Amino acid sequence: MQKEEWDAEKSEQVLLDEWEAVNSANALWARNKKEVTDEQYAEFYKNLSYDTQAPLAWSHNRVEGSTEYTQLLYIPAKAPQDLWNRDRKAGIKLYVRRVFIMDEAEALMPAYLRWVKGVVDSADLPLNVSRELLQESRDVKAIREGNTRRVLSLLDDLSKDTEKYTRFYAEFGAVLKEGLGEDFANRDKLAKLLRFASTGPVRAEPVEAPESPSTSSGRTDGLVSLADYKARMKEGQAAIYYITADNRAAAQNSPQLEVFRKKGIEVLLMTDRVDEWALSFLHEFDGTPLQSVAKGAVDLGSLQDEEEKKAAEAAAETFKPVLERLKESLKDKAKDVRVTSRLVDSPACLVVEDGDYSTQLARMLKQAGQPAPEVRPILEVNAEHALVKKLEGSAHFDDLAHILFDQALLAEGGLPDDPAAYVKRVNALLV
């Protein structure tokens, strides 16, 4: 071999050795996790994501089997500003045998986990893989499923640290709920990770506060898990009750909660915009059905005694002539009018049949510029309320009927179709 050729080969080998050394140093995910410190993991995350804050948690694993790959996945401490822009490209970095392939490989993570940062290094994918091929590859599907399971397992571990999970849920809890409608295979795991505000358990006597927030199992900064709710259900309670509203105040003060408050039954308060849609995919938790307090006729089963049931039936029969007049007066607004057993202090409320769109969901769809069905709710009236009793024989029956309906609409966060007409009716009765 000539000296020049030998020198060229030697120089090339030196360059390759240097490249391998640099590549090995940079590929933190390729190292044994026992050799990597927490500080190194955090620093790598900041360089990877351009985030100034350290991550809340991470998972580093080498997966072997029919598909071989290494995953290093991070849960950020802060949500990106464009988290709710589902058209934005989001995903994790894809490498094939430590060769960089793609910056945002969205095929490797479901949309509801689009906030996860990290790296996947595959030993099986071809170096010339494209975004189109990623959508069709069986190996990619296996990696995606593995990544999803790993993140959900990581969140389950994180939920045992109340302070960290509180921070996580405040940033990503709402988007996590999207998974109920997108990831049927992991729906049960997702349900265990969800947290909601609630009316709180009704206790016979005050209980001392726990020594630290983390001692309250399943709770996250005043929020409660479905498992925690179920564990303290009243004896004879057959469902997990919830209500959806635009905000917590509207939910907590809803007339539809009155009988539940009277009976000491806890109700979950769901106020994220995604809740109504997401809950349409979650019908039960651990064998217990979920029931909206604003849908269908209220049925408390054994929690409602026989005397109350008989009194409600008698009131409905006595009030029948007034109900018929109300139905006629409100035929363009209400699908039906009936006597209710869910109200205690309020004169009326609006509900819909099980399976129907709620008035709140219809409003949200219209606000988003999407087609929404015309919703005609059911007006339920409290036959024992003084205002409702005045209906019989009133010279202003039609005005009172429309006021009852519009006030019930206002109480749930809606607006009358004709606000000026509502004000005019109220003013006429005041004068």
Residue pLDDT, tens place only, 239-278 = 999 999 888 888 888 999 998 998 889 999 998 989 988 9
Q: Write out pLDDT tens, residues 229-242.
A: 999 998 888 899 99
Contacts of residue 301, Cβ cutoff 8 Å, sequence gap at least 6 = 236, 237, 238
In CATH, which superfamily holds the domain spanning 303-430?
A: Heat shock protein 90, C-terminal domain (1.20.120.790)
pLDDT at position 299 is 67
Least confident of 44-53, 333-342, 368-377: 368-377
pLDDT at position 219 is 43
pLDDT at position 282 is 93
Report d(CA 124, CA 68) in Å as an integer.
Answer: 7
The tally of CA atoms less than 13 A away on the side-chain side of residue 237 is: 19
- Judge whether 253 and 346 are in contact, CB under 8 Å: no
> Given a cut of 70, is residue 14 above it in pLDDT?
no
- Judge whether 313 and 258 are in contact, CB under 8 Å: no
End-to-end CA distance of the chain: 112
Least confident of 6-10, 117-121, 325-329: 6-10
Report d(CA 313, CA 374) in Å as an integer.
Answer: 31
Output the CA torsion sign for 149, 142, 43, 177. Answer: negative
**Every domain of the chain and the residues it spans:** 26-170, 186-201+215-301, 303-430
> Given a cut of 60, is residue 354 above it in pLDDT?
yes
Contacts of residue 417, Cβ cutoff 8 Å, sequence gap at least 6 = 333
Q: Band the pLDDT of 431: cuts 50, 70, 90.
A: confident
Query: Among residues 221, 219, 220, 263, which one has the least CA distance to residue 241?
Result: 263
Q: Write out pLDDT tens, residues 380-394.
A: 999 889 988 888 888
Task: Tell me, yes or no, if the two domains 26-170 and 186-201+215-301 fold the same way.
Answer: no
DSSP SS3 for 99: strand
Third-level CATH fold of 26-170 = Ribosomal Protein S5; domain 2 (3.30.230)
Q: What is the mean pLDDT of residues 89-110?
A: 88
pLDDT at position 356 is 74
In CATH, what is the architecture of 186-201+215-301?
3-Layer(aba) Sandwich (3.40)
Q: What is the mean pLDDT of residues 202-206?
A: 38
Query: Among residues 276, 106, 56, 288, which one has the least CA distance to residue 177?
Result: 276
pLDDT at position 221 is 54
Record the pTM.
Answer: 0.82
Least confident of 40-49, 170-179, 348-357: 348-357
Q: What is the mean pLDDT of the chain?
A: 83
Of residues 270 and 5, more confidence is placed in: 270
